[in-house]
Amino acid sequence: MLGLSSESGGRPGTVALSVIVITRDEEANIADCLASVSFARECVVVDSGSRDRTLEIARAAGARVTQTHDWPGFGAQKNRALDLATQPWVFSLDADERVTPQLREEIVAVVQGTGGSDAYSVPRRSSYCGQFIAHSGWYPDRVLRLFRRGSARFSDDAVHERLVTAAAVGRLKGDLLHTTYPDLETMLEKLNR
């Protein structure tokens, strides 16, 4: 692929799962993100020019890190990460998301062959200023994230990308935690950007 340089790190895992994460300046999030999926055989991080310690932290966690020198948009960047995945199953994760223990158990069961679908949605529970929201249409914010490699691709949308699949989509019950805005200052900073 054009504009990519790659570095490799070994990551021993327990299940045949690739976790893919795209990043830029995520040093505050990437360690906890990757720790929540330590059960995966492979973590692929595709970074678009971090100026902080994101790459160093990801490598230390055992992720395979690739840097891009351009920004094609969220969908295309996630497809770059997907193209680097090598395991039979893939889980797409944002750096500010965490897999809960219940969700981990369900993912492991699917990857080990107890599921009946090739793709699965998960309920995402988002936080706002440090509080996880359970109502007002914020939860359960179902997102398609787990799929058999080759059964789905990301849309090419620059923002608000989504996974597109022809497979029947199963539903997992364990929450995916989304730590969007830890405080009001962070929310306003993102709004201003």
Condensed to tens digits (0 to 9), the pLDDT of residues 130-150 reads 888 888 788 889 999 999 999
Coil vs helix vs strand at 165: strand
Q: Which pTM was predicted?
A: 0.89
Enumerate the domain spans of the chain: 4-117+144-153
Q: Output the CATH code of domain 4-117+144-153.
A: 3.90.550.10
pLDDT above 70: residue 70: yes
Q: Distances in Å between the alpha carbon of 76 and those of 70, 72, 80?
A: 11, 6, 6
pLDDT above 70: residue 166: yes
Query: CA 77 to CA 71: how far, in whole Å?
Result: 7
Read off the tokens for 21: 């994460």
Tell me the HSE value of 103 on the side-chain side, using a 13 A CA sphere.
23
End-to-end CA distance of the chain: 29
**pLDDT tier at 22, thresholds 50, 70, 90:** very high
